[in-house]
Amino acid sequence: ESYLDNAATTPTRSEVIERMNEVMRDAWGNPSSVHAVGMRAKEVLEESRATIAGALGVEPGEVYFTSGATESNNLAVRGVCSARRDNPAKIITSTLEHASVTRSVRGMRREMNWPVTYIDAIDGKLDLGQLRDALTESPTSLITIMNVQNEVGYIFPSAEIGRMRDELAPDALYHVDATQAFGKLSPKPREWHAELASVASHKIGGPRGIGALYVRDGVKMHTNAFGGGQERGLRSGTEPVFLAAGFARAVELAQAEHEETLAHVRALSAQIRAELARLVPDAIVNSPEDASPFIVSVSVPGLRNAKSVAYLSDRGVYASRASACESNHEHVAAGTWRKKHPLSLQAAGIPLSQGNTTLRVSFSGATTPDDVDRFVATLAECNAELGSRK
Ligand code: PMP
């Protein structure tokens, strides 16, 4: 089998499973309990937090565990806006964000009547002129613009955005969804001058169900989860210590293997481009050369992705359509979301007709050159059998 959908999720690494077993067995207590059993759990929780903070280059006290990037993004947007509800000002975001950002932002517009400015990113180039205008025109409460885009792998200029905020709207807070960057490209939110950043565990060989939100010390936030006051009041609920420990182990492995993995996926990205050009000459690679090497988006005109994904899957090759989350939109909103909100691929300048024929291939350190060979060979076969441009 060839698994090429690592941007959707990754297999849990065996070292991570071992670590989680150990913690479930030996540190299963409630970290809030003040007896020794609770303290053992607390110690593991805090060690895990320190590992994640270290990888982000921030203080442990600035890292809050959540259930994943979706919750981190919701908490970042809603938490900041609720804390600033007495000073309404617009939100700036991009047209290519994940739904967990976009829908949170839209929620704030609906509930609090805050204006929203969308910055275009045609061909993956975030329009910094638009951003400059937006920051100059009227007060801004929050900028939320991702680092690595999850469908095409575009890398947005996070540090440049931070500098513009500093210069033009120093009162605005700046959040970065770093889900597709963390544990891969070693993002450092402080270098971006971001006050908030979202990350997740299951994209890097850790367990599902845990992520984190970095919130710079001193930033005022409201919570979405009321209760026992865990995570310094920002996210109540008994902490899943074994998940935190598994997440931390995945981060340690990613850090230790960083250079090696990066060189490896760069080679895979070059390989897939070369093989596609040779064996599927119709194919259009949507990801620019300077995109994240972990993601390659490719369209095959005349070959619908609903068909090609199934064809590949039947032969043990797993890729996805534009992204796993996009297919959820279709499913959940039964067409209405689609009509109101153009496919984000369209917003990236990829025509709608091409959106239906787009596949996303995404790598991890465990992906092999053989996996790439099989993908391209099977896609070529599929195109010969099912494509309309034979
Ligand atoms: N943001 C980005 C950029 C993503 O790629 C994803 C995962 N598809 C998420 C947020 C949401 O992550 P999760 O499903 O783990 O909550």
pLDDT tens profile 292-346: 999 999 999 999 999 999 999 999 999 999 765 554 443 333 333 333 444 566 6
Kindly report whether the global pTM for this prediction surpasses the value 0.90.
yes
Q: What is the mean pLDDT of residues 6-13?
A: 98
CA dist., res. 149 & res. 155, Å (int): 6
Q: How many CB atoms lie under 10 A from the CB of residue 373?
A: 15
Does 293 lie in the same domain as 159? no
Ligand 1 pocket (Cβ < 6 Å) reads: 68-70, 73, 98, 100, 146, 150, 177, 179-180, 200, 202, 325
Does 293 lie in the same domain as 183? no
Distance from Cα 322 to the centre of ligand 1, integer Å: 14
Q: Which of the listed residues 255, 276, 303 is the one where a domain comes to its end? A: 255
Distance from Cα 69 to the centre of ligand 1, integer Å: 5
Does 262 lie in the same domain as 251? no
Q: Which of the listed residues 255, 281, 306 is the one where a domain comes to its end? A: 255
Q: Which of the listed residues 236, 255, 274 is the one where a domain comes to its end? A: 255
Does 327 lie in the same domain as 220? no
What value does the CA radius of gyration of the chain take, rounded to a whole number of Å?
A: 21
pLDDT of residue 353: 64
Domain count, the chain: 2
Interface confidence, given as ipTM, is 0.98
Nearest to 227 by CA among 242, 237, 219: 237
CB 221 within 8 A of CB 79: yes
Does 329 lie in the same domain as 227? no
CA dist., res. 142 & res. 93, Å (int): 8
Does 50 lie in the same domain as 36? yes
Q: The domain containing residue 169 runs over which residues?
A: 14-255
Does 268 lie in the same domain as 364? yes
Interval 228-250: pLDDT, tens: 999 999 999 999 999 999 999 99
Interval 117-162: pLDDT, tens: 999 999 899 999 999 999 999 999 999 999 999 999 999 999 999 9
CA dist., res. 73 & res. 81, Å (int): 12
Distance from Cα 277 to the centre of ligand 1, integer Å: 30
- Does the active-site annotation cover 325? yes
How many CA atoms does the CB half-sphere of 138 hold within 13 Å? 10
Amino acid making up residue 358: T
Closest Cα to atom 10 of ligand 1: 69
Index of the ligand 1 atom closest to the CA of residue 149: 3
Index of the ligand 1 atom closest to the CA of residue 71: 16
Does 263 lie in the same domain as 247? no
Does 272 lie in the same domain as 133? no
CB 101 within 8 A of CB 69: no
> Strand pairing partners for 214?
63, 197
Q: What is the CATH number of the domain that holds 75?
A: 3.40.640.10
Does 187 lie in the same domain as 160? yes
Out of 262, 279, 325, 347, pick the active-site residue: 325
Q: What is the CATH number of the domain that holds 275?
A: 3.90.1150.10
